[in-house]
Structure formats: structure tokens, C-alpha cells
Amino acid sequence: MRTITSRIPSSLAVLFGLAILISIPAVMGVKSEDFKKCDQTSFCRRLRSIATKQEAAPAGSFNSPYSLSEASPLGEGAWTWALKSALYPEIKFELRVDVLEQGDGIARIRIDEKDSTTPFKRYNESARWALLDANPALSSSATLESSSGKSIISYGPASSGLSLEITHSPLKVTQLRNGQPEVVFNERSLFHMEHFRIKDVEKTEEILSDSEQMVLKGDQMDRSWFEDSDSDMFEEKWKKWTDTKPKGPEGFSLDLTFPGVKHVFGLPEHASPLSLPDTIGPDAYYSEPYRLFNVDIFEYLADSPMSLYGAIPLLHAHSATHSVGVLNLVASETWIDVKHESGSVKTHWMSESGIVDVLLLPGPKPQQLFEQYAVLTGPTPLPPQWSTAYHQCRWNYNDEDDVLEVDRRFDEADIPLDVTWLDIEYAEEHRYFDWDPKVFPNPVKMLDAVASKGRKMVAIIDPHVKKIDSFRIYSDAKDLDVLIKKADGSNFEGWCWTGSSVWVDFFNEKSWSWWTKMFDFKTWKESTDALFIWNDMNEPSVFDGPEISMPRDNIHAGGWEHRDVHNINGMMFHNQTSRALIARETPARRPFVLSRSFYAGSHRFGAIWTGDNIGDWEHLAGETAMLLSNNIAGMVFCGADVGGFFGNPSHELLVRWYQAGAFMPFFRAHAHIDTKRREPYLFEEPIRGYLRDAIRLRYTLLPVWYNAFHDSSLTGVPIMRPQYAAFPEDEAGFAIDDQYYVGDSGLLFKPVVTEGAESTQVYISDAQPYYDYFTHHVHPAAAGQTLTLNTPLSTFPLLIQGGSILPIRSRVRRSSPLMWQDPVSLVIAVSKEGKATGQLYLDDGVGYTYAQGEFVWRKFDFDGKSLKSTNRSPSSSATSGVASTAVAAYDENNPWAQTISHVKIGDITILGLSKRPSSIKGPDGQLNWTWESGVAGSGRKGGAASKLVVKNPGVGVVSDWEILFD
């Protein structure tokens, strides 16, 4: 939902003092002037100028002023060095390096100011919230050797050849594998940490006008390289707001260089290509750095480095020979410049506050990067199975009758639906938790009616709390003293949907148990176990605040300023809401909480979506790269508003949105209050049929999606896998960001994003045949080929990679929970060698008994002569380092397996066999089957694939079995 709209109630507009907003049209485009650029932000302006001077300086004239003393051991796997800057010899810094026990060679570099003569300290708690363990166990095998101004740490598995070479003067840190540098810290001497100082007693420099440089007294190093005069260092004004900056300048910058690579990925959330283009230099694609600063931005540009709603400071660098990653645990506003240069990619990170806390992920392939990130931040827990199905949302469904009408008409149109959503208008005066009795007089009855069909509902709970004593949330929070404070210590007030509002400080531990109680069924009596939650506006969005957000000098628990924790703020709200839903039931059931704002680690608490997009072709085209970027950064349960939040898409565009949405991990249609109603049942044929087909296809493929969610819950692997992750040695695919694989299923999908497109091209990396999911046309194996596929409005590219076995449920019911006893069909697309593999994971879909072994996990193997189903051991797929994914030993007689022991394999379709079998025998004897001649997967020509269908094979989803082909 959006902060400013023509539908703001007039009473709120008057209070707002912004009546002019009433005349703003509903669709107006992003107002870039509401958000800062780097040169309008004092710390970014100062720190970015270091690189500008370095670029202009004669070769060899620009050296880092930072140097190290000798190492001091802290115990196994950890060392510190005193770090000194020649700019300010009296200021003490410290460099610390840890080598982690888990993750096959993760190194952690921290730098902080020590023993400051001021009362200030740097924010150092990002790891507390982002990581599973803020201080992970350290390696007992890492060793350090020092010689001639260097410290060399050897670490990681014996076969990895990993080392960290630390040059003492000038400071430089290089991660190497087998002697080859892969990450270099401070290669360009751009590292700089502004020290704490008291403005009134600063005696070592003259602060001149903005256009002049600092002048030093005596013979100290010229500081003008690093610290231009800046009148905004102690107080910064922007438009009508003043940031008091009580701690003065505390920004820091660092440069990270990745030798031997041409592609870097990550830094979500941005509407940019997956392979990040340059922001500086002669080939700059953008004129501004990538900005990580969570903001409420609507109708965002479809291609821009501007901030969006989330910020994950994770970067992957990739080449055909190696992959490395960096996680920079900083929660303050951060800008990142990217520059490709002479066989390497150079990055420059500039942050407003905090410490340097960088974790180096060694790879050496994308698969290991995903697993190493999961070691640190945890994988995405299994969500409720129903949440992976179709969601219908609108701002707003008007009343109970409207909700039940939508529910009924989906059934009439034979379109499945799992979740109906309510936006802000369900709440009386936008007092979340309080249903408006005028339009929702009996919410429990409504919820029960929806739940009777296996469906759920989601209602919004935003972080802004209406400031009125009669509202229990406000009065409780005020009495508990858990509200965010202004710089003067009074409770912060701002404007949002509720009018005058306050915000709970979820960094304050006193708020946690209270917030949990708010969701208890005894407290929130008008909720049921069929109601789940949507956390919107949690960047936080403050209508009358700077950049539509909260003043940076606001104060959180522990005395930290909002500037220090801004990008984590939304995750704290998401975290506590998720925990509250878990606590409301015994035994606990899996929560579903959608968040708009996120940070590293947010994936542990639920799903996110890409915010207030536009229903146009440009935004449809851009969503895939955004979702892929989220996926590689661990935020796998993500999606975009299908149809676009703003606008009224044409019929063609809406169909293409639904086809794309059916292959997003989070599949939700959503629309602005001023758009035309566009529920799929409202359209005439054939449009309704196209929309129905896309939604029903999602339900057919739900077992494939649940497999992908399960794999991600074990090792952190993406659900949407970009080309570079699936084929890390194929350079031609590294920059491709408009197609992807669904987990390890072998399904390759590409949305059609061009108006009027009758054909679409798909790139194939590997030398395997690919089968059209709909027509079974086989494209012969040829690595590096580009296929041109017919894509009239009724269809889109969906290919099955040769060698894959897909479990599907052909019988689609009105909601996914009603399908749990239906048979599972297998679609086998043979490789050019005539073989295929696949899997099927099942559990109860709602609880946590799977952690005690109550699940079914099958492996399917077809070798041309037999098809086998065997137990798939959890330990064979879980990475040893992802401790949180430990699963109880599997027993096929577990209670859940017994519950579904009657569920059968309905039929088996095998595509691409080279010859017709003479007989097929199952455990109970000869089976019935049909054969259609066609092209073999091993052939050199394309055409309709041969098709063998085994009907009712008499085998189940629980036990081992084998079918023989003669």
C-alpha cells in the first residue's frame, strides 16, 4: 500500500495540514526529489570524494594512512591488531579477524574505534539480529604466521588452500585460494573511519568554508585527501528537517576488489539488472551509487539504483573458475559504487555509522555461497504449505459480504484460492487489531466460513500506532515505555494512516512478550487460527518525516540512534510478529507474516514482496531480476504484486502478469483502491480461461514448489535459481536475468514481458534435451543454444530439463489443503542418456512435527530399465555447516507417513524414450500402459517426444518400490 493517495480521508488531510495532497492523482510516478542523492548526503559526499581524488591522483601518490602493529592472539581462530591512522595518530582503532568453525572457511573482519575520549561508541549489534549467533564458534585449525610486515592466516579445509594475507603498512587484506587473490580489502586505499570528536574542543584543524579543504597545523599528514571540510558534519539540514547528529561524523568507507571476475550480484533491493552494472567510470550505467536505505517509495522506477523497501548488504562475485561473497553487516544508510575494470570488479562501500563487520564467504561455487550464507543467517524455515498457493488481495475488500462474495465467485469460476487479504480499511480508524463493526460486524464468523473450505485470511497490522488513549495498543505501549523516542527523550510522534501516530521500539526487549500477548486468542478475541498477518509500512514509513521516514536522531533502546539501526528496524517488527503467531497455539503451527521491509536474516520470519509496483510492461519485465537478486541473498519467499499495484493493465498484460506470478515463490494478486476490480473471475473468455489456467497450473505444480521450499530450508539454496547459479561455468549465461529454474526440479521458466509477443527466446546452457511442458515437444541437446518458442497469449516458455522427474497433482481442488490425499503423478523427461532423477517431500504442511521425523521424503531414479522410489536421507542433502537444519532420523512408519499411506502414485508419464518397451511390471505384476511414438531424448532432431503413460501403477508415496521396464 501507499503512503500518499487521493483516497486519504478528509479529516486526516486537515490534521495533516497537507490538503494539497487530496488533489494528487492516484498514479503519478515516483517523486525522486523526496529522496536524497549521494551529494545531498554529507557522509556520502565526503567519503565518495576519497575515490574521486584517488582517481585523479598521479600513480603512486595516494596511499592509505592506516597501518597495523603486530598481531595479538585472542584464542583459537581469532587475532587483533592495533590499527593507527596517520591522519589522527592519537585516535585508536582495532582490527580483529575471526575464522569461523563452520562454513568451510568463512573469515570475519571487524574494525572499531577503541578507548575514545568522547562518551560515544559505534553501533556494533547488527550481527545480533542478522546472524543466528552473533559470535559464531571459531576454528581450532586456523594458524597465523608473521613476517616482514605481513600476517598470513591459513584456514579452511585442508584442500581449500585458503589464506588471508594482511599487509601491515599500508593496510591491505587479501583473501587467496591456492595463492590466487579473490577478495582484496583496501586495495585502492579507500578505507576510512571517521573518529568521534567533540565539536567545541576540536583544536587540530580549521573548519573553513564548504569549498575549501582542512588545513593541518604542524607536520602531520595532509588530511584533505580524506576529510574535506563539511559544515554538515555536526548538524545536517535537508528541506525542512534538521538532523542534530549528537555524535558528529561517524561514517566509514571501505573498498573491496574482486580480481578475475566480470560479474557481481546482490545488494537487494534494487530495480536493477541481476549482474550489477557500473555506477562510476566511463561505462557507468547509473549516475548514482546503489543505495541501501529502506524507504517507502511508490511507483518506483523499473530500472534504478534508488533505495527500495529492503536492504541486504550481500554481494556475490562470480567467474567461470570461482565464486566469492561478502556480507557487510552494517545497518545504517549505505551507498555502494561498482566499477568493472581490467579483469576485476571494484566496489566502494560508504556507510553513515556502525563498525566494519565484514564476513568473507569463500565459495568456491555459488552453491557453497548459498550454504555459507545459511550457516550465518539460517535458512528459510518451511512456510505453511497453503502459503505457497494463490493469494487474492486488494486495497480494500469493503466488508464481510465482499469477502464472502469473492470467496464464492472463485468457486463458481472453478479457480482455486487459498488466501483472501484485507488491507487497512478493515480496521476502525486504522486502529489495527480493531475490526470496524460497521463493515466487519462478525469477523470470526467470516473467518470460519472461509476456513470451512480450507482457506485462510490475512489482515494488515502496520507499525504505526494511533495516538489515542482509548486504543489499547497505544495505552499499553505508552505505559510500558516501549515507544521510540525523539532526540530529547520524549515519545516520537509522526503521521501515517492512523493520523497522529507513535511507533513501538522492537529493539526494546520489554515490548516482546507484550506484543506476543496482543495476538493471543484470549486478547485478540476477534481472530482465529485461520487469520494471518501482513506487516506493511515498516521501513518505517512516516508521512511527514524526512524521506517519508523517521528522523535519524530518534533514539532506540540502548541509546542507539535510528541512523544506526534503520535498515534493521522493519525486520524487528517482522520478527516479533512471527514469533507471536507461533506462540498463539499449542502445539505451535508455522506462522505466515508478509513484510515489506527486510534486512539480512529477515527470511527467517516470513515472506516479502517488492512493494508498490506499476501494472505496466516495464515493471513486469523488471520483476524477475529483482526476485532473483532477493533469492540469491537468502530472501527466497518473495513475489511481486501480480497485475501491478498501480494502474489498470490491459487484458494481455494482466494475463502475462498471472503467468509470471504463477512462477514466483509468493503468488499474490494485489491492486490499489483506485484501480478497477480485476479478480480473475470478472473477465470474459478467453481471458478468464488464461488466468484460470495460470492459477491452476500453480496448484498442479505445488509438490514441485514444496520440494524447492524444503531444499531451501535445509541449505539456503534459492528457490528461483538464476542461470549463473545453475550453470556456474557457462559465461554466456552469467548476465541472464529474465529466466530461471524452479529449485532443482529441472523446470525452466521464462515470463513473456513484451507486448504482442508471439515468440520468445530461451537460452540453454547444458547439453541436455529440453521438453515443452505443455506440448511435450523435445528440443535436442545442444549446449549454448538459444531456442525460439511460440508464445501466443495462451502459453509461455516452460521447459523440462532432460533427466528430471516432476511430481505433480493433476486433480486441482478449490484450495490446496483439500489436495493432501490426492494421488501424485510423475512426469519423467529422460536425459540424452535415457535417465532421470527427482524427489518428493511431504509433511502435514502446517506444524513442526517434521522436525521429529514426521515427513515423507522420496527419491525417484529412472535408469531406462527400472523406476525406483527410495527413502531420501535428510543427512545426504543437508550441509554439515547448517546446524539449524538438523532433522530427526526418518522412519517410514512415522505418524504422518501412516496418515498418507493410502495415497498413491496416480500415473507415470515418461517422455523421450528411444524405444517402446515390451512389458512393464510393478510390485503386483503386469501394468497397463499406452505408448505414442515420437522423438527420443537422445536424438538429434526436435519434434513431439515419445510418450509412455503407465496407468495406476499400484504404488504409493510412502514405501519403497520398483517398476521394471523390459
With cut-offs at 50, 70 and 90, classify the pLDDT of residue 882. Answer: low
With cut-offs at 50, 70 and 90, classify the pLDDT of residue 200. Answer: low
pLDDT tens column, 841-879: 999 999 999 999 999 999 999 999 999 999 997 654 444
pLDDT of residue 134: 97
> Out of 195-199, 499-503, 647-651, 652-656, which region has the weakest mean confidence (pLDDT)?
195-199
Question: Is 125 labeled as catalytic in the residue annotation?
Answer: no
Whether the per-residue pLDDT at 216 is higher than 60: the answer is no
Query: Which homologous superfamily is 46-195+230-364 in?
Result: glycosyl hydrolase (family 31) (2.60.40.1760)
Roughly what angle, to the nearest 10 degrees, separates helices 510-518 and 562-583? 40
Whether the per-residue pLDDT at 538 is higher than 90: the answer is yes
| 455, 407 Cβ separation under 8 angstroms | yes
Question: Is 536 labeled as catalytic in the residue annotation?
Answer: yes
pLDDT of residue 174: 98
Among 373, 388, 963, 374, residue whose Cα is nearest residue 707: 388
- pLDDT cut 90: percent of the chain above it: 89
CA 834 vs. chain centroid, Å, equals 37
CA distance 762 to 785: 8
- CATH 2.60.40.1760 location in the chain: 46-195+230-364
Look up residue 17 and give its three cell numbers. 495540514
pLDDT tens column, 408-465: 999 999 999 999 999 999 999 999 999 999 999 999 999 999 999 999 999 999 999 9
Edge-first strand listing for the sheet containing 464-466: 464-466, 499-503, 494-496
As a whole number, mean pLDDT of residues 922-929 equals 97
Please, which residues have CB within 8 angstroms of residue 539's CB and are 6 or more apart in sequence?
294, 295, 296, 309, 549, 569, 570, 596, 597
Considering the candidates 423, 539, 553, 623, report the single residue annotated as catalytic: 539
Please, which residues have CB within 8 angstroms of residue 824's CB and are 6 or more apart in sequence?
703, 807, 808, 809, 840, 903, 904, 905, 906, 957
Considering the candidates 232, 243, 255, 612, report the single residue annotated as catalytic: 612
Instruction: Give the residue with greater pLDDT, 574 vs 209.
Output: 574
pLDDT tens column, 166-182: 999 999 999 999 999 99
As a whole number, mean pLDDT of residues 823-846 equals 98
pLDDT of residue 218: 39
Among 102, 590, 667, 158, residue whose Cα is nearest residue 415: 667
Whether the per-residue pLDDT at 758 is higher than 90: the answer is yes
pLDDT of residue 653: 98
pLDDT tens column, 554-565: 999 999 999 999
pLDDT of residue 60: 80
Look up residue 23 and give its three cell numbers. 488533489
pLDDT of residue 874: 64
Q: Which of 2.60.40.1180, 2.30.42.10, 3.40.470.10, 3.40.50.620 would CATH assign to domain 802-965?
A: 2.60.40.1180
Whether the per-residue pLDDT at 213 is higher than 90: the answer is no
CA distance 810 to 919: 26
Instruction: Give the residue with greater pLDDT, 228 vs 220.
Output: 228
pLDDT of residue 889: 77
pLDDT of residue 795: 98
- CATH 3.20.20.80 location in the chain: 385-462+510-540+564-715
Look up residue 613 and give its three cell numbers. 509496483
pLDDT of residue 221: 61
pLDDT tens column, 937-952: 999 999 999 999 999 9
CA distance 742 to 722: 9
pLDDT of residue 212: 34
pLDDT of residue 230: 81
Among 850, 856, 848, residue whose Cα is nearest residue 893: 856
With cut-offs at 50, 70 and 90, classify the pLDDT of residue 644. Answer: very high
pTM above 0.85, yes or no: yes
Instruction: Give the residue with greater pLDDT, 21 vs 40.
Output: 40
With cut-offs at 50, 70 and 90, classify the pLDDT of residue 148. Answer: confident
Edge-first strand listing for the sheet containing 777-779: 720-721, 740-742, 747-749, 798-801, 770-772, 777-779, 943-944
Cell 494488515, residue?
460
Measured between alpha carbons, how far is residue 889 from residues 714, 856, 965 in Å? 15, 12, 33
- CATH 2.60.40.1180 location in the chain: 802-965
* Angle (CA) 618 621 622, round 5°: 90
pLDDT tens column, 670-687: 999 999 999 999 999 999
Q: Is 943 left (phi over 0), alpha (psi -120 to 50) or beta?
A: left
Among 847, 842, 855, 820, residue whose Cα is nearest residue 699: 820
What rounded mean pLDDT belongs to the chain? 93
Considering the candidates 536, 561, 616, 730, report the single residue annotated as catalytic: 536
* Farthest CA pair distance, the chain: 97
Instruction: Report which residue type is found at 810.
Output: S
Measured between alpha carbons, how far is residue 213 from residues 49, 101, 840 in Å? 12, 46, 66
Instruction: Give the residue with greater pLDDT, 359 vs 15.
Output: 359
pLDDT tens column, 696-729: 999 999 999 999 999 999 999 999 999 999 999 9
* Composition of the chain by helix, strand, coil, percent to 5: 25, 30, 50
With cut-offs at 50, 70 and 90, classify the pLDDT of residue 28. Answer: low
pLDDT of residue 210: 37
Length of the chain: 966
pLDDT of residue 204: 39
Query: Which homologous superfamily is 385-462+510-540+564-715 in?
Result: Glycosidases (3.20.20.80)
Among 362, 357, 31, 392, residue whose Cα is nearest residue 180: 362
| 943, 777 Cβ separation under 8 angstroms | yes
Phi and psi at 852, nearest 5°, equal: -100, 15
Question: Is 236 labeled as catalytic in the residue annotation?
Answer: no
CA distance 342 to 154: 28
